[in-house]
Structure 1
Amino acid sequence: MPTPVIAIFDIGKTNKKLFLFDEHYRIVLEKSEQFDEIQDEDGDSCDDLNRLTNWVTTSLTEVMTMPEFTVKAVNFSTYGASLVYIDQTGQPLTPLYNYLKAYPSQLLQQLFDGYGGESTLTRQTASPSLGSLNSGLQLYRLKYEQPDLYAKLAFALHLPQYVSHLISGWPVSDLTSIGCHTMLWDFDRQDYHKWVIDEQLETRLAPIVASDSARSTAFGEDVLQVGVGLHDSSSALIPYLASFQEPFVLISTGTWCVSMNPFNNRPLTPEELQYDCLNYMHYKGQPVKSARLFAGYEHEQQVKRLAEHFQVPVDQYKQVAYNPETIDQLRQHVSQVTTGEDAKGNQLLSMKGSLFGQRNLDDFDTYNVAYHQLILDIVSQQLISTNLVLAGSPVKRIFVDGGFGKNPIYMNLLATAFPGIEIYAASVAQASALGAALAIHQHWNPYPLPGDCVELKKYTAHAVAH
């Protein structure tokens, strides 16, 4: 008997992956590709949209013909903040512009001037001002810089919905993309912001549907349930929401460490936006208060600096065990870089820059001691960042997934920093792909939702328990 499966396309900036999950959400097939970036008309690097489009359709055709599987459904989890502009026939009109592309300052100023200034607009849309990373601004730019192309535009689709549309032919918008630092959504009014309506951009945004919707679609000889796709950060939260009912915060760690609290729906304050707080959108449509810290990137830069100074391999830190005595000594002796920690200005400065980057490495006798200081500095920033989303909500547990969840020094320091909260290293194999599969569970899978998607390891202050 062929195994019933769901196919999930998990499209990152670097790796493009295809997974098949069986009805118990075990991965039964995995394929991965990396594409070379190409350049847009300005010479900026961007993903190769033609190649991506062909890869999605040919890969799906390939797994559909495998005799050992019956593909029942397909869904998509991709990086956010990227738009594909399609015409009436569904053909892309432009390259897939990179969300890191520099944004023209006069255009940004024109928008801010028209709608009450930067702080008002960023607060109402729960979006720090991030240039092209605010995908709504990309559409605004197309309207003013390429009016001829804009005239041919049927829909601007976020990337997850574009790849879904390739299979279903169904142009839609989804709240996990629309609600995530796009500057499109007014969280006070729970609708598109006034500027979007005034510019008539909402006429070029496809109808919004629930993120857990799917549509029956004929594909070759078969009929598939096709999900509408999810923004990967929101998707990665779904296995946790499926597994845990008690309020929790998830710190998802990679290049960015994002603290997400699905149980805090207080509106963002201007101060929180300064600290890189933002709202993600829960796949059921509620805001997820989140705070970002560039800590994974910082760690990567500083371990290179340490390796050079102490003449050791770059990944030497993986050999360093947690030593509470070292931490106690560092807390007593090493000069803290910023003074007057209570002063908000200093605190903000310490979040923007790197504490460890300002330290003199000659102050440390050994690599191990210096590395403990690096993690101490990162965790002190993490504490500020995570506290922003904890405030005023009844959270009993913090889960850490990704790279820092495997770092015993980070995990132990976090447990010490939050004595009243249970701290767990959590691992979910392929969390964003699994989330996209779970989101449309009811459309393809006859079994109950599994409650054991997440593996946990508990940390308590100064000791590790299993």
Structure 2
Amino acid sequence: MKMEEEATVVLDIGKTNSKLSLLGRDGRVLQEQRRPNVVLQSGPYPHLDVEGLWPWMLETLQHFAAQARITAIVPVTHGATAAMVNEQGLVLPVLDYEFTPPEESYRSKRPAFAETLSPELPAGLNLGRQLAWLAAHFPVEFARSRHVLMYPQYWAWRFSGVAASELTSLGCHTDLWNPQARSYSSLVSALGWEDKFPPLQAAWTPLGPLLPEVARATGLPADCQVVCGIHDSNASLLRYLQSQEPVTVLSTGTWVIAAALRSASPQLDERQDMLANVDVHGQAVPCMRFMGGREFAALAGGEPAAFTIADLQAVVDQGTLALPSFAEAGGPFAGQVGRVEGPAPKTPAEQAALATLYCALMTDYCLGALHASGPVVVEGSFGRNPLFGAVLAALRPTQRVSMSDDSSGTTCGGWMLHRWGEQPAASQHLAAPLQLSGLSSYRRQWQALLPRP
């Protein structure tokens, strides 16, 4: 790269890993660095290791700054996470959403599903529950906080010093947002939190330049802009929002989130973890999800083995079925204990094949419940499993299944926020339906054994 070439940095914080990507003017990923995320068990409750991430970010940005002229940093993160800050910094550690706050009285406070389109979820996946627990158990610190920042905006604030709120993170199963009224929910006013949330900004808004001390520590230009930022699965939607035809985007990673754009609106069933996320324009998008990456790892075991079509066929032939669920949080069968019916997989390759079949069947189940129509596009980590797309295409013969060739739809979406109005070059390939003998009857058997949600 020539130093005069402009570049964008996207900070992509998933639940399992954090990634910093350097993207060129055309949206190509030029370099990236990854780091596993850590949940710290010390202190008052399990919390995210933001102070461990910060020096890694600064060091990586210093390396990137030697490669190109970086003009913007865009934060993209998972949802269900907020930071309480004042002028001195964090007033409490950033609570891990997999921690389960004691029930207490939150259920009686939360708004009805009809208001928020946010289902009641386990652990801290409803952000309102986290905040209510923190306010009750740490009242002095809660009162000292100046802002409640959604997780992307926490990092934007950390880089720029400017506090902002943004729709996509507020609108992802938080209980804090009313998508139909496009305003904060009744929970926020009932608990007197209105003043805790800073002004709303569009996800693509530049909040300001880097703080001087950050520019000095990284070598980035003093005028490098910090963009407001976005919820990660909403970042995956950005390149499809302009299409007038139905399309379903599968954002895959720790979670598999199916977002059905412009399909016939389903009757959302909160008992099955169906919900509406909110896109960058404030529109409600019907979604359904399960913890696919976590479940795949539980079934495949450790580092998944390479597997072939023959391994998939062997699993189908012997009638080995994985039944939900293999993660504790969320999904249409939350609370059910996963089990394997039939002969156990004989090899690590068959374990990975079973995990792939399970995730494809769960995705098919979600697409059916959403009445999803039109093409299906697989973004994120499942795109690196070519046989996942081939099995899904066989299960959904009336829909075209495409696999994104990008390293991450979330990273691409972050780049689009900086280059608002520009489209990256399309980078997808069609998944050919896999001809597995007996797949239809295998699917029927799996569906017949499903627990009642």
2:180 is aligned to 188
Are the equivalent residues in 2 in contact too, given 1:53–1:166 (CA < 8 A)? no
Deviation at 1:101, TM superposition (A): 1.3
Partners in 1 of 2:288 and 2:247 — Cα distance? 14
If each structure's helix is expressed as a fraction of its own residues, which one has the higher value? 1
2:363 is aligned to 382
1:205 is aligned to 197
Are the equivalent residues in 2 in contact too, given 1:239–1:453 (CA < 8 A)? no
2:378 is aligned to 400
Deviation at 1:69, TM superposition (A): 2.0
Computed over aligned residues only, the root mean square deviation of the Cα atoms, in angstroms, reads: 3.4
SS at match of 1:105: coil
Partners in 1 of 2:158 and 2:416 — Cα distance? 21
1:176 is aligned to 168
Deviation at 1:263, TM superposition (A): 2.2
Are the equivalent residues in 2 in contact too, given 1:38–1:45 (CA < 8 A)? yes
2:450 is aligned to none
Are the equivalent residues in 2 in contact too, given 1:217–1:224 (CA < 8 A)? yes
SS at match of 2:225: strand
Inter-CA distance 32–411: structure 2 relative to 1 (3 Å threshold) = closer
Deviation at 1:239, TM superposition (A): 4.0
Show the 5 A alignment for 1:125-136: 125-130=116-121, 131-136=123-128
Deviation at 1:154, TM superposition (A): 0.8
**Paired residue type of 2:235:** S
Whether 1:295 and 2:292 are equivalent positions in the alignment is yes
Whether 1:47 and 2:35 are equivalent positions in the alignment is no
Show the 5 A alignment for 1:187-336: 187-217=179-209, 219-220=211-212, 222-241=222-241, 246-264=245-263, 266=265, 269=268, 272-304=269-301, 315-316=304-305, 318-321=306-309, 334=319
Partners in 1 of 2:274 and 2:405 — Cα distance? 24
Inter-CA distance 325–70: structure 2 relative to 1 (3 Å threshold) = closer
2:400 to 422, 445, 448: 422
Partners in 2 of 1:59 and 1:125 — Cα distance? 39
SS at match of 2:105: helix
Are the equivalent residues in 1 in contact too, given 2:8–2:22 (CA < 8 A)? yes
1:353-404: CA deviation from partner (whole Å, max 9, x where unpaired) = 477x241326x8888888766655543333221112235xxx3211123444
Inter-CA distance 368–7: structure 2 relative to 1 (3 Å threshold) = closer
Whether 1:431 and 2:405 are equivalent positions in the alignment is no
Are the equivalent residues in 2 in contact too, given 1:216–1:226 (CA < 8 A)? yes
Inter-CA distance 415–46: structure 2 relative to 1 (3 Å threshold) = same
Deviation at 1:58, TM superposition (A): 5.8
Deviation at 1:61, TM superposition (A): 5.7
Show the 5 A alignment for 1:10-89: 10-34=12-36, 36-42=38-44, 44-56=45-57, 59-60=60-61, 63-64=64-65, 66=66, 68-87=67-86, 89=87
1:403-427: CA deviation from partner (whole Å, max 9, x where unpaired) = 4444455433322322221122223
TM-score after normalising by structure 2: 0.80
SS at match of 1:180: coil
Partners in 2 of 1:323 and 1:37 — Cα distance? 36
Inter-CA distance 413–322: structure 2 relative to 1 (3 Å threshold) = farther
1:458 is aligned to 431
Partners in 2 of 1:150 and 1:337 — Cα distance? 44
Partners in 1 of 2:347 and 2:51 — Cα distance? 51
SS at match of 1:19: strand
**Paired residue type of 2:68:** F
Deviation at 1:63, TM superposition (A): 4.3
Inter-CA distance 428–322: structure 2 relative to 1 (3 Å threshold) = farther
Inter-CA distance 70–377: structure 2 relative to 1 (3 Å threshold) = closer
Partners in 1 of 2:200 and 2:192 — Cα distance? 16
**Paired residue type of 1:25:** G
Whether 1:155 and 2:157 are equivalent positions in the alignment is no
Partners in 1 of 2:132 and 2:32 — Cα distance? 38
Partners in 2 of 1:92 and 1:261 — Cα distance? 37
1:169-200: CA deviation from partner (whole Å, max 9, x where unpaired) = 22110111000011101233222111211211
Inter-CA distance 369–60: structure 2 relative to 1 (3 Å threshold) = closer
Are the equivalent residues in 2 in contact too, given 1:361–1:370 (CA < 8 A)? no
Partners in 1 of 2:352 and 2:226 — Cα distance? 47
1:165 to 153, 157, 172: 157
Are the equivalent residues in 2 in contact too, given 1:8–1:76 (CA < 8 A)? yes
Deviation at 1:209, TM superposition (A): 1.3
Are the equivalent residues in 2 in contact too, given 1:76–1:230 (CA < 8 A)? yes
Whether 1:412 and 2:409 are equivalent positions in the alignment is no
Inter-CA distance 38–408: structure 2 relative to 1 (3 Å threshold) = closer
Partners in 2 of 1:371 and 1:7 — Cα distance? 34
1:344 is aligned to none
